[in-house]
């Protein structure tokens, strides 16, 4: 807060600045006079891509103290030239959504509600179940004796919203595990 000075009294400013009707600089508050866009506070600006449709609009993600403070179109992008649709423009609300669930939840068989679970335990449980399902539904050969080398006990759906690198690891791991029922939105 600036130190008080009588010269900043609105009435005095009104006459000092020549803004006789008191509708211009004489009535601006300290907050107004020092106003800057919050993007200037960012300690990091990452070039990114909109996560919604497949146009691939460029985004600039402004972050401060490891928190996203603003997302805007990237004017450098030859695809989008800095523009975003309502969904792209709402991306900041997407990433900072109050409706986001950021901890692991587990629902036991027949349970009426969720319970909390730590991440490591959940990963172990999933790995155990994965191997069990793989074993339970393993098929070495078909009825004609031709090789199948697969399991039909595990399926997955998703990928069109993930990264190429993620899809690659998913396909690689599932295929090596013998799982073939891998699908994504492209089929829907």
Site residues for other proteins, window 14-33 (CB under 8 A)? 17-29, 31-32
Residue 8 touches other proteins, criterion: CB under 8 A: no
Helix, strand or coil for residue 180?
strand
**CB of 3: closest distance to other proteins in angstroms?**
17
Pick one of 1, 2, 7, 176: the residue that binds other proteins (CB under 8 A): 176
Q: How far is CA 22 from CA 67, 88, 104, in A?
A: 40, 41, 57
Q: How far is CA 10 from CA 1, 2, 3, in A?
A: 17, 15, 15
When the beta carbons of 7 and 54 are compared against other proteins, the nearer one is: 54
| Cα-Cα end-to-end distance for the chain | 58
Helix, strand or coil for residue 160?
coil
Residue 41 touches other proteins, criterion: CB under 8 A: no
**CB of 117: closest distance to other proteins in angstroms?**
8
Residue 65's CB is within 10 A of a number of other CB atoms, namely 9
Whole-angstrom distance, CA of residue 63 vs CA of residue 38: 10
Q: Considering only residues 115-144, where is the footprint of other proteins by CB under 8 A?
A: 117-119, 122-133, 136-138, 140, 142, 144
Residue 98 touches other proteins, criterion: CB under 8 A: yes
Pick one of 9, 12, 41, 46: the residue that binds other proteins (CB under 8 A): 46
When the beta carbons of 5 and 66 are compared against other proteins, the nearer one is: 66
Residues whose CB is less than 8 angstroms from the CB of residue 98 and which lie 6 or more positions away in sequence, other chains included? none
When the beta carbons of 3 and 35 are compared against other proteins, the nearer one is: 35
Residue 6 touches other proteins, criterion: CB under 8 A: no
């Amino acid at each position: 807060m600036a130190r008080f000075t009588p010269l900043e009294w609105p009435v005095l400013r009104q006459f000092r600045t020549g803004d006789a009707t008191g509708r211009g600089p004489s009535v601006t508050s300290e907050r107004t006079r020092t106003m800057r866009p919050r993007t200037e506070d960012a300690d990091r600006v990452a070039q990114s891509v909109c996560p919604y449709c497949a146009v691939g609009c460029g985004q600039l993600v402004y972050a401060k103290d490891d928190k996203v403070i603003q997302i805007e179109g990237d004017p450098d992008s030859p695809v989008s030239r800095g523009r975003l649709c309502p969904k792209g423009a709402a991306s900041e609300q997407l990433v900072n959504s109050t409706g986001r669930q950021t901890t692991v939840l587990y629902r036991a068989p027949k349970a009426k509600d969720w319970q909390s679970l730590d991440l490591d335990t959940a990963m172990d449980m999933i790995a155990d179940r994965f191997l069990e399902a793989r074993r339970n539904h393993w098929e070495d050969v078909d009825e004609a004796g031709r090789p199948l080398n697969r399991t039909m006990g595990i399926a997955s759906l998703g990928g069109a919203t993930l990264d190429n690198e993620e899809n690659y690891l998913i396909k690689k791991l599932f295929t090596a595990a013998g799982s073939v029922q891998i699908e994504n939105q492209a089929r829907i």
